A = this chain, B = another copy of it.
Amino acid sequence: MTMEKILWKHIQTLKATAPLVHNITNYVVMNTTANALLAAGASPVMAHAKSEVQDMAALAHSLVINIGTLDEYWSEAMLMAAEAAHTQGKPWILDPVGAGATPFRDTVLQQLLQFRPTVIRGNASEIIALAKANSTRTKGVDSTAESNEAVAAAMTIVKHSPSIVCISGATDIITDGSQTILIRNGHPLMTKVTGLGCTASALIGAFIGITADKTEATAAAMALIGIAGELAEQQSKGPGSLQQHLIDKLYNLTEEEFYSRIKIEKQ
């Protein structure tokens, strides 16, 4: 099967199996990511209490940790959930929102990396900051570096922790150190909607819960959101309508639309 066909098969499997995805994510995107997961076919649960994160991680097919609006309590809960996932061999994804912006974020990220996330997805600035905690200051949560500048940083990360790194941007770069996949879908207007990076991470979280090959899972999520975003943008007058149409398109994307749009390259 071609990579395109494999990814489409994963997208169909997600709808058929409706995996339970446990999210410990930021306040800004909880509604959007829950809706994106439902639209794509997954079953989201948001739960962050120290009294239940281990139980919830055990119930779920996979775990999403996103540090966007972290604080001391939430970071402890994230560590408990990440440890539970790691111990139980459950796949989990780390979204290092705002890595490098403050020492607090970098400290929590270093602790989370101990539990070896299956996948890490961030923009170029975040991946660089994650690799070299004190090398650069990110400007908040938007990326100021180019994706391909972050590839070297990604390689450092995968060497020390057997994770897949996804650097999202105009071109998404997915690498496990040996193979690299490039995806050139999406639209610049997507950067004007809050939390679409977070949504991409949540979708990766869904796919790694149902797919043995985690690189393929990551590529399926990034192709899905990129193509859905392109098609949604065609119907939109601005970021408000894009957000709505994107959710619709995650739900009703057709095979024909997928194959006619996908721009994927294996290196």
Q: Write the residues of chain A forming the contact surface with B, with a CB cutoff of 8 angstroms.
A: 18, 20, 26-32, 34-35, 38-39, 43-52, 55-56, 59-60, 68-73, 77, 98, 101-105, 137, 139-142, 192-195, 236-241, 243-252
Cα(A192)–Cα(B39), bound, Å: 6
- Known A27-B27, A69-B47; contact A243-B240, beta-carbon cutoff 8 A: yes
Chain B residues near A32: list those with CB within 8 A: 31
- Known A48-B71, A102-B55, A195-B34; contact A238-B248, beta-carbon cutoff 8 A: yes
Task: Let me know if A39 and B69 touch, CB within 8 A.
Answer: no
- Least CB separation from A235: chain B residue: B237
Chain B residues near A38: list those with CB within 8 A: 192-194, 239
Stoichiometry (number of copies):
3
13 A-B pairs (CB sep. < 8 Å)? A31-B195, A35-B239, A38-B192, A39-B239, A47-B69, A47-B98, A49-B72, A50-B71, A59-B140, A237-B245, A238-B247, A240-B248, A243-B247
- Least CB separation from A140: chain B residue: B45
Cα(A240)–Cα(B43), bound, Å: 16
Beyond A30-B69, A47-B98, A239-B251, 9 extra complex contacts between A and B, CB < 8 Å: A18-B142, A27-B46, A35-B239, A43-B140, A44-B194, A55-B102, A56-B102, A59-B137, A244-B244
Task: Let me know if A35 and B71 touch, CB within 8 A.
Answer: no
Q: Name the 5 nearest CB pairs between A and B, nearest first.
A: A240-B247, A238-B248, A49-B71, A34-B194, A238-B251
Output the least CB separation between A95 and chain B (Å). Answer: 14
Cα(A29)–Cα(B51), bound, Å: 22
Output the least CB separation between A130 and chain B (Å). Answer: 16
Output the least CB separation between A194 and chain B (Å). Answer: 4
Task: Let me know if A46 and B26 touch, CB within 8 A.
Answer: yes
- Known A30-B28, A248-B238; contact A72-B50, beta-carbon cutoff 8 A: yes
Chain B residues near A251: list those with CB within 8 A: 192, 238-240
Task: Let me know if A43 and B248 touch, CB within 8 A.
Answer: no
Output the least CB separation between A227 and chain B (Å). Answer: 15
